[in-house]
Amino acid sequence: MAININNFFNSKNKDSKMGDFQDLDHLDGVSVSTTSANLYGNHRDDIVLFYFRDGANHASVYTQSKLVSENIKWNLNIKSKKVKCLLVNTRNANALTGKNGFKGLKIISDNLSEQLTTKQKIDEEKPEKIKPSEILFGCTGTIGEAFPTDKIKFCIPDLINKIKYTQNKYIWMKAAMGIMTTDLKPKLAMEECRIGSKVVKIYGIAKGSGMIYPNMATTLGYIFTDADISSKILKQLLKKNINTTFNAVSCDGDTSTNDMVSIFATGKAKNSEVKNINDNRLIEFNKSLHAVLLNLSKRIAADGEGASKFITINTLNCKTENDAKKIGFSIANSPLVKTALAGEDPNWGRIVMAVGKAKVKISLNKLNINIGPYKIIENGKISPNYKESEVSEYMKSLEIKICVQIGTGKKEFEAYTMDLTKKYIEINADYRS
């Protein structure tokens, strides 16, 4: 898997450019370990454990697909105020596996809870019994294949033996790589902020490359913070910020059976109590959480299957945000637009087509379309300054911006996508081989 490892080793700046790696170091209350269950047959890490030795408040948003994986069903049944761990496997979605898939999670959770309880007895002055109902699961990979219960169960002792209570960037990198499927690059992000007088950290990892069209989120995203924030407020913050981050991404127009984005708060920062989402002490945290989610979302779009370009689509001056969203995704999901971008062809008529088919009221004499800095459509007509040669040169860029102004209001939406290349077909034609 092609990763810019030099950037990872040498990164000193948390505000890294896309493609660089941020330095995720120790986050109190979270332990991370990885191992291989040999699900891919090449001994790469494919199982990741996040262990919260003192528990963590939590919140998740899940796929809106009507066909969901067994791990999503399991997680939706978890009512515990705090969770003790999250176990993630790749290569197998545990979707359309029926009773056997759900039973597999029960077997693994029983075994994992027993072994983590034993570890508590060894490591803690006041050990707690860890219950299966305090364990969450993340699964990703091929739909419809039998869940590899025995293989995952077999590697649990190794996962637990590798638990360390102090983390570093290498361990976080292993975790980000351990949840990858067809991704070419691991996805990590971090921010620091204050709640009152206390500095808190927000770390995030994600995976996502194909089968990505949001209806809450996309693929897998896991956020960790040492802030002391209740599960109720975490849920509100996550739902508030998902719309303009993970919900603003579309790689191929397909929504997965397994999509989930979760946030876990260990409380180790010991900030003063936050009683509601409107508390002024949350302003900085909310901005930082949004920044982490947006960073991860953009990395997913940039690493879409076969992608050669990262595309930002700004839809402005709409009557409603929903109108702006419809137009943005109409452009983002159009195979004709995406192939033109891949071919570096300034065929702006395809963008006009995509705007028109969104079924949104448009004021033609106020319609403006830009590709990068170049005006294409100005007040409903071809710009007198349009030069195809200039736009052709711009479209050779790795990052392309499209801006559409509708002229019916003041609402806007920013969507993120990638181009559609021959590589996308090759990857998905051979996905299971």
Catalytic residues: 218
Comparing CA positions, the residue from 366, 350, 358 lying closest to residue 317 is 366
Instruction: Check residue 364 and report its DSSP letter.
Output: G
Would you call 342 exposed, middle or buried from its count of C-beta atoms within 10 A (0-12, 13-18, 19+)?
A: buried
Comparing CA positions, the residue from 400, 338, 405, 395 lying closest to residue 368 is 405
Helices (H), 279-362: 283-302, 321-332, 335-342, 349-356
The pairing of strands 310-318 and 399-405 is parallel
Q: Could you identify the residue written with the tokens 């979302």?
A: 297
Contact indicator for 419, 317 with CB cutoff of 8 Å: no
Planar angle of CA 247, 136, 119, nearest 5 degrees:
140
Separation of alpha carbons 50 and 159, rounded Å: 10
The residues that bridge with 262 in the sheet, in sequence order, are 60, 222
DSSP-assigned letters across all residues of 161-214? HT--SS--HHHHHHHHHHT-SS-SS-EEEEEEEEETTEEEEEEEEEE-SSS---
Dihedral of alpha carbons 355, 316, 415, 302, sign: positive
Contact indicator for 56, 230 with CB cutoff of 8 Å: no
Separation of alpha carbons 13 and 284, rounded Å: 20
Separation of alpha carbons 122 and 142, rounded Å: 38
**Radius of gyration of the chain, Cα coordinates, nearest whole angstrom:** 22
Both tokens assigned to 340? 């033109």
The pairing of strands 260-265 and 220-225 is parallel
Both tokens assigned to 215? 């209806």
Phi-psi region of 329 (alpha: psi -120 to 50; beta: other; left: phi over 0): alpha
